[in-house]
A = this chain, B = another copy of it.
Amino acid sequence: MATIAETKVPVNVKSLKAIQSEVKNINRIALSVDCVIFGFDENKLKVLLIRSDLKKFMGRWSLLGDLIDVAEDVDEAAYRILRERTGLKDVYLEQVHTFGKPQRHPAGRVVTIAYCSLINIQHHKLSKMENELHWHDVNNVKDLAFDHQQIFDTCYLRLQKRIQEHPLGFNLLPKKFSLRELQNLYEAILDTKMDRRNFRKKFFSMDLLIDTDEIERDVPHRPGKLYKFNFDKYEKRKKKWTGIDF
């Protein structure tokens, strides 16, 4: 039952000089970005991993990351890494969480900021050719280097939640997609099965899909219609939800 009066809260009385001194000389820490890059291929949710080159983690997989430059904006660092690793620029990228246990990196104190990215894997079809980079099935990701397993788990959980609240999934699909592809995507990310009719009803009732008047090609059965997502319409009608649900 301590009150502020009792606890004699120490107030902030540092001079700018003192702060500058601390900032410049004492408390400086290496900062990195780690990207959890998701893709969707063959009806599986995938994540892009690279083999760790550190002896300590010999042969184990890790996330794509790099140190942040002293003068570099943090978000910009994340975009830079994506650019360097995938050649892509205009992609979905979201900061998820910062991980800062003192012993998390063997090279010293490194605090890392995790970002989650969703990219269209079709643009990376040939990644199998690369020896060091690999698309992993998310259900098969384990024993990552550093604390990357925890970072991956956090980002995957975040993705599962966000995909239900925002139309992120379309970043993983081609511009034009069938409803079956869309449902496969949701089922893969949420690791669940959904009723096909109710799934369609739900998306049609949102009225955010544009019928392209095209149909699938090269499928060995009746082809489905192809749709585009109406991003403009979605942006215009973002609602403020005030239900309570827990």
Contact = CB atoms under 8 A, between A and B. Distances in A.
A11 B86 contact: no
A130 to B, nearest CB: 6
Interface residues of A, number: 89
Contacts of A15: 53
A5 interface: yes
A218 to B, nearest CB: 19
Contact of A246 (B5, B50, B165): B165
24 contacts: A1-B123, A2-B88, A3-B124, A4-B124, A4-B127, A5-B126, A5-B130, A7-B86, A9-B85, A9-B86, A9-B130, A9-B133, A13-B53, A16-B55, A22-B30, A24-B108, A27-B69, A28-B30, A29-B29, A68-B100, A74-B100, A186-B244, A203-B244, A234-B246
Which A-B residue pairs are the 9 nearest by beta carbons? A74-B100, A7-B87, A28-B28, A5-B126, A2-B87, A23-B30, A23-B108, A11-B132, A19-B107
B27 A245 contact: no
A67 interface: yes
Interface stretch (A109-117, A136-144, A209-217): A109-117
A25 B70 CA distance: 11
Interface in A58-104: 64, 67-75, 84-88, 95, 97-102
A74 to B, nearest CB: 3
A242 B22 CA distance: 48
A105 interface: yes
A150 interface: no
A186 to B, nearest CB: 7
Contact of A110 (B10, B23, B100, B241): B23
A163 B152 CA distance: 25
Nearest to A66: B12
B4 A87 contact: yes
Given A27-B30, A28-B30, A70-B109, 11 more contacts: A2-B88, A5-B126, A5-B130, A16-B56, A22-B30, A26-B67, A71-B102, A71-B109, A75-B100, A164-B244, A194-B242
Contacts of A2: 87-88, 123
Nearest to A75: B100
Contact of A107 (B4, B23, B166): B23
